[in-house]
Amino acid sequence: MSKDREKSIPRSRFSRFGRVARMAGGVAAGMIGEGAKQLAKGNRPKVSDLVLTPNNAKRVAKQLAAMRGAAMKVGQLLSMESAEFLPPELADILAQLRDKAFTMPRSQLEQALVNAYGDKWLEKFKHFDYIPLAAASIGQVHRATTIDNKNIVLKIQYPGIAESIDSDVDNIATLLRVSRLLPAQVEITDLLNDAKEQLHEEADYELELQHLASFSKLLENDSRFIVPAAYPELSCKTILAMDYVEGASVEKIDGIRPSEVDQIMSNLFDLMLHELFDLRAMQTDPNFANYLYQTDTGKIVLLDFGATRSFTKKFSTDYKRLIRGVLEEDEEKLLDAADRIGYVAKKASSDYQKFLINIFNIALESFKENSVYDFEDAKLSERLAALTEEAYEFKEFWQTPPTNVIYLHRKLGGMFLLATRLGAQVNVHQMVKKHIKTLN
């Protein structure tokens, strides 16, 4: 990580609110400047045209990235869950937040370590690497060597992030509404309330330690995957210590055969279905960096269990019903299952029902086709995005999807994007079929 990606994290509520205020001021100034340009050309621009400029969207994204924490996460969630309903200018810029974050300067990093371990924190390690391996919305990752020569990584939480979650979410939501960067018809209240709950869980590294231990146990007999061992004695609420495991980010591996790529994605799809239907616990963060691949062993390393979501047996069963409706091309079963998982479906207009059916048929198309499915050729994202204009015709029925569906589709969408990125071809139908046949 270079110095130009370092930026001190604002800790107090006042300083973080100040960031939001500056963001709003920048948007307003951008509107005035753009308006003057348009008037000089003899145009009479609409307010929405002045707000939704690329420069204004960049101002918002830059400040969210600098604040990290909930502020950055709201941008990430919106870019993932509501992209089809956002103006392209905002959706494109917010999408950048999935991969970019500033890092802490060394002074702030050391203070975080002192807060967790005490003044003599360095004595706990034979070596500590001050240059982070990675940085995200909640924290950053550093390599270290223990006194007994074990290679580990420390996931270190940004200071003040946990305490700022609720106010950050509220402030950013208000900014997006007041500035009209978020269209009025996009209702995100439920999404934001759940984001607060999920973010509090993600910021609790002691809870993530439990998830890490659980998945390590659940997958201990599955030779396809590696879950890093945790170090409870070096972990606390703001630091998570685990084994350093070699591997390359799965989206960046070069020189492997297409058949090997297909096997990687086949294993990941199989794991996702196992999580949903058998374990009923799923790591829902779709970040590609959470999957490392070992070319020498063929194993997939699973990282980051902060966004682990538990599903009830009812939800798991109802989603099986939804998939069965798609597989059997039974629209009545599909709509009934959509109602069961929380959509407004059977009481909606027939046109909206057709719209929902179309969305699910496209989104779950790979489940339906009993053949090798070419994700790159299918262009799922483009086809779903093409439904954007049609979605605006159903403002009275459109809703933020039910919470469990959001996190499931977040993972599902991530798998589809990764399969597309890798050019994978997988028969997902055969994997789904073995789970659906258990449905009464």
Q: What is the CATH number of the domain that holds 148?
A: 3.30.200
Q: Has residue 193 been placed in a domain? A: no
Distances (CA, A) of 155 to 216, 234, 283: 18, 11, 17
In this structure, are residues 305 and 324 in contact, taking their beta carbons and an 8 Å threshold? no
Q: Has residue 192 been placed in a domain? A: no
The contacts found for 60-63 with CB under 8 angstroms, 24 or more apart, are: 60/23, 60/27, 60/90, 60/93, 60/94, 60/175, 60/176, 60/181, 61/93, 61/94, 61/96, 61/97, 63/19, 63/20, 63/22, 63/23, 63/26
What crossing angle do the helices spanning 331-340 and 350-363 adopt, rounded to 10°?
90
| pLDDT reported for residue 298 | 94
> Based on the domain organization, do 236 and 252 belong to the same domain?
no
User: Does the pLDDT value for residue 136 go beyond 80?
Assistant: no
| pLDDT reported for residue 435 | 93
pLDDT, tens only, 113-133: 999 999 999 999 999 999 998
Q: Where are the beta strands (DSSP E) in 163-228?
A: 225-226
57: enclosing H helix or E strand: helix 54-67
Q: Which residue has the higher pLDDT, 312 or 289?
A: 312
| pLDDT reported for residue 16 | 46
> Based on the domain organization, do 369 and 317 belong to the same domain?
yes
The contacts found for 250-257 with CB under 8 angstroms, 24 or more apart, are: 250/288, 250/291, 250/292, 250/293, 250/300, 250/418, 250/422, 251/288, 251/418, 251/421, 251/422, 253/293, 253/295, 256/295
As for how many domains the chain has, the answer is: 3
Instruction: Identify which of 281-290, 356-365, 376-385 has the greatest average pLDDT.
Output: 356-365
Model confidence at 389, pLDDT cuts 50, 70, 90, reads: low
| pLDDT reported for residue 42 | 45
Q: Which domain holds residue 143?
A: 105-157+204-244
> Based on the domain organization, do 294 and 403 belong to the same domain?
yes
Q: Has residue 270 been placed in a domain? A: yes
> Based on the domain organization, do 235 and 312 belong to the same domain?
no
User: Does the pLDDT value for residue 190 go beyond 80?
Assistant: no
Q: Which residue has the higher pLDDT, 345 or 292?
A: 292
DSSP code, position 179: T
Q: Has residue 47 been placed in a domain? A: yes
Q: Tell me the mean pLDDT in the region 76-90.
A: 50
| pLDDT reported for residue 200 | 86
Q: pTM, whole model, 2 decimals?
A: 0.77
User: Does the pLDDT value for residue 86 go beyond 90?
Assistant: no
Among the options 285, 296, 304, 351, which is catalytic? 285
Q: Which residue has the higher pLDDT, 241 or 139?
A: 241
> Based on the domain organization, do 386 and 324 belong to the same domain?
yes
> Of 244, 276, 292, which residue sits at a domain end?
244
Q: Has residue 191 been placed in a domain? A: no
Q: Has residue 195 been placed in a domain? A: no
| pLDDT reported for residue 161 | 79
In this structure, are residues 215 and 265 in contact, taking their beta carbons and an 8 Å threshold? no
> Based on the domain organization, do 311 and 174 belong to the same domain?
no
* First-to-final CA distance of the chain: 53
Q: Has residue 314 been placed in a domain? A: yes
Model confidence at 382, pLDDT cuts 50, 70, 90, reads: confident
pLDDT, tens only, 20-38: 444 444 443 333 333 334 3
> Based on the domain organization, do 386 and 368 belong to the same domain?
yes
> Based on the domain organization, do 256 and 269 belong to the same domain?
yes
> Based on the domain organization, do 432 and 342 belong to the same domain?
yes
> Of 244, 267, 293, which residue sits at a domain end?
244
> Based on the domain organization, do 91 and 122 belong to the same domain?
no
User: Does the pLDDT value for residue 249 go beyond 80?
Assistant: yes
Is 285 annotated as catalytic?
Answer: yes
Q: Has residue 406 been placed in a domain? A: yes
> Based on the domain organization, do 328 and 259 belong to the same domain?
yes
> Based on the domain organization, do 279 and 133 belong to the same domain?
no
User: Does the pLDDT value for residue 4 go beyond 50?
Assistant: no
| pLDDT reported for residue 26 | 44
User: Does the pLDDT value for residue 255 go beyond 50?
Assistant: yes
| pLDDT reported for residue 392 | 58
User: What is the rounded radius of gyration, in angstroms, for the C-alpha atoms of the chain?
Assistant: 23
Q: Tell me the mean pLDDT in the region 298-324.
A: 94
For the ranges 14-18, 222-226, 340-344, which has the lowest average pLDDT? 14-18
